[in-house]
Amino acid sequence: MPLSEQEQKLLDEMERSLYHNDADFVSAVNAGRGRVNYGALVLGILLAIAGLVVVIVGVITHLPIIGIVGFVGMFAGVLLALRPSSSAGRPSSGPRTGSSPSAAASKTNLMDKLNDRWDKRQDREE
C-alpha cells in the first residue's frame, strides 16, 4: 500500500531531522555494518556441507556417534559462516590506520553535499 503524498512528506521530513539532529546515532548504526569476510563465509559453507555429508554417512551406517560428529561440524560451519567480521562491532572513532585524514574529510564532505542536494530537491518539490 503506497503512502499518501502527505505521509511521504512527513516521512522525508522525519528522516532529514534524524540525519541533522542525531548524527551520532546515525553514525553508530552505520558503523555496525561491517564488511563481509568472504573467506570465513566460504569455509563455513564448506564445513557445513561436509558436516551434512558426515550426518548422512552416520544415518546410512547406523552409527549415532558419526551423526553427532557431523551435526557438530554442520553447526560449527554455520556459526563460522554467519560470524560478523572483526570490524563490525567496533565503532569507528576516526580514520583507520592507513587511511589519510583527507579521505575521512572527503567522505564527510560527500555526505554534506548529498544532504544539501537532497534538501534542495525537496525544497523544489514543495
pLDDT, mean of each 10-residue run, the chain (126 residues): 80 78 66 73 93 95 94 94 66 48 59 79 75
Q: Euclidean distance between the first and final Cα of the chain, in Å?
A: 23
Which pLDDT value is given to residue 16?
A: 79
User: From residue 22, how far is each of 31, 42, 86, 92, 101 by CA, in Å?
Assistant: 14, 37, 26, 17, 23
Contacts 24+ apart (CB under 8 A), 46-52: 46/77, 47/73, 47/74, 47/76, 47/77, 47/80, 48/73, 48/74, 48/77, 48/78, 48/81, 49/77, 50/77, 51/75, 51/76, 51/77
Q: In the block, which residue shows the cell 503506497?
A: 2
Which pLDDT value is given to residue 25?
A: 66
| Pair 115, 123: CB distance under 8 Å | no
pTM of the model: 0.45
